[in-house]
A and B are shown apart, each in its own frame.
Chain A
Amino acid sequence: MRLPGTRYQEHGWEQVRKLLGQCSLGAFAGPGLDDYIDAMSAALSRLGSRFDGPGNSYGDTVRDLAFTLLYELQARSGDWAAFCTTLPSHPGEALLRKKFNDMYATLRDKVDSDNYQAACGRVCSPNRIYAYRMLDTAYHEIARLFADWRSHAAQVGAILGRDIDAAPIEVRQMQSIAGCRPEWILRWSASCDGPLHTRSKRFDALKDNPAKIGAMLAEIAEYEALSANRDADWRVDSGAALDWLDDYQRVMAAPEEAAPGPDRILEAQQDELDVVEAEMEIEIEIEIVEADPASMLLAASVSLPPGFMQMARLAEDPASWAARVMQEDGLPVRLAVYAKLTGPVDDVYPDAWCDPATGALPTMQQLAVLAGVSLPTLRKRRDAAVARLMNAARP
């Protein structure tokens, strides 16, 4: 399923989820979020190329998506704290994997609901994203039943609301989700104790409400048709993608006298589908893996080329705004800041900044060694530098 702005709603998500779960088993060592993030970054950087396949139809790889979600987690320490409180003191591997699966499944819908709001300006809760996905899944299930209507005549009859003897015309007419009628979704759910017929309050706003279901189906269909003949989001990587910064600066600096009063600030709007339930345990099966590649990957060396610091310094632009703000911090701290803010892999980084073994900026462990400080000290200095940059960037 594709929706405006979303990145984690297609089939590739399954692989992203598995990758994050697998690496987490090796990377998790306690409630320290920074420890976890650094260990995960190192594990993801060192993975082989088999995770560089597409994770969605916008051209993001499975690894890209795992990284992005990890960085979102870094910015949401409250979610991490909540996650840690639900863990028993010595969780077994299967339970730990399931907990990580649940946490990332929840996080992806939070991230995608924000993506959706930024893309189309409409209020959207994580549970609404979940509801879109439920409807999309229901449509595919109905399409599957329709395709083999002879074997499922009773259920297809229940969905269409009449007895079936010959091939129903609806079977041929439903070419896409655009042709799926909301009543069919409701009757399908009734026919199998589906998601709209449980005691869960999650979809209360949709129960017995074909108009709302129809509007959501139409939205999925419309965007799928629109995005089908469009390639990857061209704005993400080109320099023009940052032109909005100039608009932002201009808008923030415009003379205030011309502005009318009073402030036109929106009240926080409640999404009627914004249902928070205690059990967010969704569509996740526990799987048993034979090997634990993450722990093997984590046993990596700190080795960098001998001349790394010198070459990396030469590659810096001392006149740049960021370098000036962080002048006193030293190169390892600056690299740690870049890795935190824009990720360890980015083609704008000079080659001299990257570990030739990984093509990424050095890990926090490597940088701590380079800086001659402990890992916690490096993190403190990095976060202080980020705070100074934030102050410099936000007028």
Chain B
Amino acid sequence: MKPEDLLERRLRAAMLTASGVDHDCLVLADAVMLAAIDGSCPLTRGERAALAASPLTIRRFRTLSLDYAASLKPAWRESSGMLRAADSGAALTELVTDDGYWTLHFLAARDAATAPRVILQLHAQAPFARQLLADQPLLRVIDGAGAVVLQGRLDPDGECESAWPFDAPPAQHFQRSGAVFAVEALPG
């Protein structure tokens, strides 16, 4: 949006919501305004006049409108990625989903007593990062054959870690199972 358009909209917004009406109070119930916002039931002439005369109610309308718009944003369901250039000979250390929002890190075993680890990391700039961290859904990473690589919930840093569950090291395992993987949220 051009800055001058933004200024113009700010001015409109400032005028609609400017306080200064004595004893202003909420004049419409949330349900009435929400039904008008989602289009299911318009306001009557009297309700429109009451809304227009109450900056406080217009501010409540603003909150409801923005919350409603946020609720319509498509939620994230799944990201997928592929194994690339696996023949370099070096051990696979990470895989990134095609959308760039998730990385799988592979940590080799430190010694004979520990198992290799796999870490799923959500990138902070993913548009759904805030929502996902708040909702804490159960996440699952599956390989091309449908086997579960990792399952769990993100910690506050946006990571989820577990032991590498297969005998073959990551590069070999993914190569044998279709060279693809997917991160998905489990329903519920």
Contact surface of A with B, Cβ cutoff 8 Å: 72, 75-78, 111, 114, 117-119, 121, 123, 229, 235, 239-245, 247-248, 251-252, 254-256, 258-266, 268-269, 317, 320-322, 338, 341-342, 346, 348-350, 386, 389-390, 393-395
Cα-based distance from A252 to B42 in the complex (angstroms) = 9
Name the distance in Å between B50's Cβ and chain A's nearest Cβ: 5
Which residues in B have their C-beta under 8 angstroms from that of A242? 6, 9-10, 13
Could you list 16 examples of A-B contacts with CB < 8 Å?
A: A121-B30, A229-B134, A229-B156, A239-B9, A251-B43, A251-B48, A252-B51, A256-B45, A259-B42, A262-B46, A263-B50, A322-B8, A338-B11, A341-B14, A342-B10, A346-B7
Residues of B within 8 A of A240 (CB): 66, 69
Nearest Cβ on chain A to B46's Cβ, whole angstroms: 4
CA distance A220 to B63 in the complex (A): 20
Q: Is the interface of B mostly helix, strand, loop or mixed?
A: helix
A75 adjacent to B20 (CB under 8 Å)? yes
Query: Does the CB pair A394–B52 fall under 8 Å?
Result: yes
B52's contact among A77, A117, A247, A252, by CB below 8 Å, is which?
A: A252
With A114-B56, A241-B66 given, is the CB distance from A260 to B14 under 8 Å? no
Q: Complex formed: what's the CA distance from A390 to B51 in Å?
A: 15
What are the 9 tightest A-B residue pairs by CB atom distance, in nearest-first order?
A118-B59, A263-B46, A75-B20, A244-B65, A317-B4, A247-B65, A254-B42, A259-B44, A242-B9
**For the complex, what is the distance from the CA of A306 to the CA of B25, rounded to whole Å?**
48
CA distance A123 to B133 in the complex (A): 31
Check A321–B18 contact: CB distance below 8 A. Answer: no
Contact of A348 among B7, B41, B52, B59 (CB under 8 A): B7
With A121-B26, A251-B36, A389-B15 known as contacts, the answer to whether A258 contacts B3 (CB < 8 A) is no
| Interface flag for B32 (CB, 8 Å) | yes
Question: How long is the Cα–Cα vector from A162 to B143 in the complex, in angstroms?
Answer: 62
- In the complex, the answer to whether A266 meets B19 with C-beta atoms within 8 Å is no
Q: A265–B47 contact, CB under 8 A?
A: yes
Q: Is the CB of B19 within 8 A of A72?
A: yes
